Amino acid sequence: MTDRLYSDPDLVQFYDMENAGGDDFNYCLGFAGNARSVLDLGCGTGQLAASLSDGRSVTGVDPASPMLDVGRGRPGGDKVDWVEGDARTVRLGRRFDLVLLTGHAFQVFLTANDQASVLRTIAIHLAPGGRFIFDTRNPAVEEWREWTPQRSARKVAHPSLGTVKAWNDVEHDVATGVVTYSTFYEIPGGGSALGAESKIAFPAKEDLAGMLDDAGLLVEQWLGSWQGEPYVANSPEIIPIGRLR
């Protein structure tokens, strides 16, 4: 859990420029509803946690301290309880009305054992009557095919560095299903490119369903996108919503 993309401040500075807002953020703001307490596992730079903190007790957990530092400095960040911890093992000694794990953070857990541990963490921290929601990319769509240097090339507007060229590269391990992708940022003015290598898993829906059941979690609804569409075989996302069984 020491991925440089999230633990190196030079790379963390680009995170919100590429990931701020989005459909998952908007959906979860509405989904939180009347929940009075929220646990945001894998909270990253804390945009969602801070946005949910008005009138709620919110805890944001992430293993990368530079990401949490960004969260603390956000508007509303002073209302969040920030915890440096691993979603597989963190134990907070309390339960929450809502447990979130968004931004495809579930995919950084590469093995079935690690994935099952995260689901147990959700169950342990979920209050009776509370709800959980998380997302993972649908392996059937093979989104990683778009992460080649040619297809992923983009420009990022940095407030002090100016226009930064960015791109990815990718390898897919057919045997394990694990995707290794690299992220690069070319600093203007002849500076060398910043880069980091990351690994993510693409668990299938049927495997997730079994692990959720084993963790004591009941799925009430499967979404296939953050627009709220029901899951079908070619949906881009796998998004279970549920409660304790």
Alpha-carbon gap, residue 203 to 201, rounded angstroms: 6
Which tokens in the block code for residue 199? 């690994």
Quick check: helix, strand or coil at residue 185? strand
Closest by CA to 68, choosing from 58, 56, 77, 79, is 77
Residue holding tokens 């134990």? 91
Number of residues that this document lists for the chain: 245
Which CATH fold topology does 4-139+202-244 show?
Rossmann fold (3.40.50)
Taking the model in full, what pTM does it have?
0.95
CB atoms within 10 A of CB 61: 23
Give the domain ranges of the chain: 4-139+202-244, 140-200
Q: pLDDT in tens for each of the 245 residues of the chain? A: 568 999 999 999 999 999 988 999 999 999 999 999 999 999 999 999 999 999 999 999 999 999 999 999 999 999 999 999 999 999 999 999 999 999 999 999 999 999 999 999 999 999 999 999 999 999 999 999 999 999 999 999 999 999 999 999 999 999 999 999 999 999 887 767 899 999 999 999 999 999 999 999 999 999 999 999 999 999 999 999 999 99
